[in-house]
């Protein structure tokens, strides 16, 4: 008998659990902070999110909490999410239906980028070109992402072409239509930020791509057949052998 038979969206839950576990393996998590969410209805307002206070490496498919961005009683539930998760992710799912999946971390290199006076990510290589004209910088950090911060951040993501937000003095937030697409973008944003930070450390001039080539490369990333799906599939295959508890 399946002890989780009453839970919905099982395949999506497992995909999201993979993303949590692999983020922890990469060291891109932070204690029991940070949150990933995934819309499960057509309007994008009902979504799965990690339970309050659970380490990314211990997230399972069944532990994910399903909540409704339009339910004012959410924070009164016994399984209420972290209040900053509700403030930020609730606001985004409420007003940005194109943001089906939302991943927010304080990963090292993205946060270093967020700490610079100019937090834009220039297209200096193939990876950073993925985000050319597709990321925004929030330079009005107002404290932790409680209720008042969420709507302001959501407004910065209103353009569907925007796939990442550098949260000044905070971290990074990436959106997408699926877990595979969003996690792939999160992974590559951190890799691109690391390359940029290391390039700055040399003190030598940067070789920035011409705008037309950067845009061409970004579009090629967008149409690369099956790349993000293959990435998540392989991570899941590894975890099936090494850490299968994610799927429970």
d(CA 162, CA 60): 29
> Contact 66/46 with Cβ under 8 angstroms?
yes
What CATH class has 10-247? alpha beta
Per-residue tokens: 73: 């009683």
d(CA 173, CA 64): 19
Residue keyed to tokens 């971390």: 105
* DSSP 8-state class, residue 146: S
Q: Is the pLDDT of residue 4 over 70?
A: no
pLDDT digit string (tens) for 200-233? 999 999 999 999 999 999 999 999 999 999 999 9
Q: Is the pLDDT of residue 2 over 90?
A: no
- Residue-range domain boundaries for the chain: 10-247
Tell me what percent of the residues of the chain surpass a pLDDT of 90: 92
pLDDT digit string (tens) for 89-129? 999 999 999 999 999 999 999 999 999 999 999 999 999 99
| SS3 assignment, position 66 | strand
Query: In whole angstroms, how far apart are CA 28 and each of 57, 104, 191, 201?
Result: 11, 10, 11, 21
Q: At what angle do helices 10-25 and 179-202 cross, to 10 degrees?
A: 20
């Amino acid at each position: 008998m399946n002890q989780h038979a009453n839970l919905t969206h099982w395949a999506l839950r497992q995909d999201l659990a993979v993303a949590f576990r692999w983020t922890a393996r990469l060291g891109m998590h932070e204690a029991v902070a940070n949150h990933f969410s995934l819309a499960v209805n057509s309007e994008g307002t009902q979504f799965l999110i990690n339970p309050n206070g659970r380490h990314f490496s211990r997230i399972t498919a069944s532990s994910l909490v399903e909540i409704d961005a339009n339910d004012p009683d959410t924070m009164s539930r016994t399984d209420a999410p972290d209040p900053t998760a509700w403030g930020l992710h609730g606001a985004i799912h409420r007003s940005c239906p194109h943001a089906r999946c939302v991943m927010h971390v304080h990963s090292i290199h993205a946060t270093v980028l967020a700490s610079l006076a100019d937090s834009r990510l220039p297209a200096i290589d193939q990876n950073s070109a993925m985000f050319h004209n597709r990321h925004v910088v929030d330079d009005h950090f107002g404290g932790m992402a409680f209720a008042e911060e969420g709507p302001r951040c959501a407004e910065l993501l209103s353009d569907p072409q925007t796939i990442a937000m550098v949260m000044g003095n905070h971290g990074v937030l990436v959106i997408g239509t699926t877990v595979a697409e969003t996690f792939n973008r999160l992974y590559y944003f951190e890799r691109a930020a690391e390359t940029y930070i290391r390039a700055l450390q040399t003190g030598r001039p940067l070789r920035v791509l011409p705008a037309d080539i950067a845009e061409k490369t970004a579009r090629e990333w967008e149409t690369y057949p099956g790349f993000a799906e293959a990435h998540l599939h392989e991570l899941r295959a590894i975890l099936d052998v090494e850490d299968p508890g994610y799927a429970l």
